[in-house]
Chain A
């Protein structure tokens, strides 16, 4: 993640905290959602940039690894957090 973008996210989350302290939960939630969405986009893009590099470098494709990661993360997505 680029440093400037990381700083932007940090600032955004701090502004969200300020709104929360002021009691404006709606504004805080909106800014937090924005930060989460932006961070997710950057994470996915960073991953894909690495895939682009591997593809160009001619690295062999480990399909078992791809499959294992998908199974694990998909299972995590569908797992409900423990109550309480």
Chain B
């Protein structure tokens, strides 16, 4: 986009008019005056009207008229802004701030839960890990459902999340149609028998679930 001549801008013209009024008022303040008081008051009033009218004109022109760039710098910035899709730095800055905030707030509790599982004493670490993985999935699917219900998750993104959920759910709560056990059933078997076989089955169930859980997280984040 090429810059337009300086005085073709209505905003600039209006500001120049306002500037004339302001300059006159300043001159009056500095002592410029007529001998006749009537003319002094009339000139003061006229200068005030000019300054106010010019300011209002500038505001009106800025709000209602197209604002083509006046300088080459402004033209380049306008072109850059259009390349970005029409909105500029504030959302980008907010994006970075919120992203940084979410990065800090969004994972400390989750990390702590997995750490607590590894420190568990009242149940075996394996069962505690199964519990944390299952609750992590429960929290994610609850959020996914909430986002769908608020309309924030829809279309192709919703379908991707649903597919990822279909992959995780049987690994956590099992699949009745195929009789495939999930983490929940593996925990029950492990608690009942507590032998090497059930321990290995529970470990495998957790491992499989964790892989698909990360895919669900990716689908949710990538929406």
A residues whose Cβ falls under 8 Å from a Cβ of B: 2, 5, 8, 12, 15, 19, 24, 26-27, 30-38, 40-53, 55-56, 58, 61, 63, 66-67, 69-71, 73-74, 76-78, 81
Inter-chain contact A36/B94, CB cutoff 8 Å: no
Inter-chain contact B187/A63, CB cutoff 8 Å: yes
**How many whole Å from B177's CB to the nearest CB in chain A?**
14
Inter-chain contact B152/A49, CB cutoff 8 Å: no
Select the stretch in B32-40, B46-54, B70-78, B127-135 that faces chain A. B127-135
Number of B residues contacting the other chain (C-beta, 8 Å)?
62
B residues whose Cβ falls under 8 Å from a Cβ of A: 85-87, 90-91, 94-95, 97-99, 101-102, 105-110, 112-113, 115-117, 119-123, 127-128, 131-132, 134-150, 152, 161-162, 165, 169, 172-173, 184, 187-188, 220-221, 223
**How many whole Å from B115's CB to the nearest CB in chain A?**
7
A51 to B220, CA, bound (A): 21
| Residues in A whose Cβ lies below 8 Å from that of B119 | 56
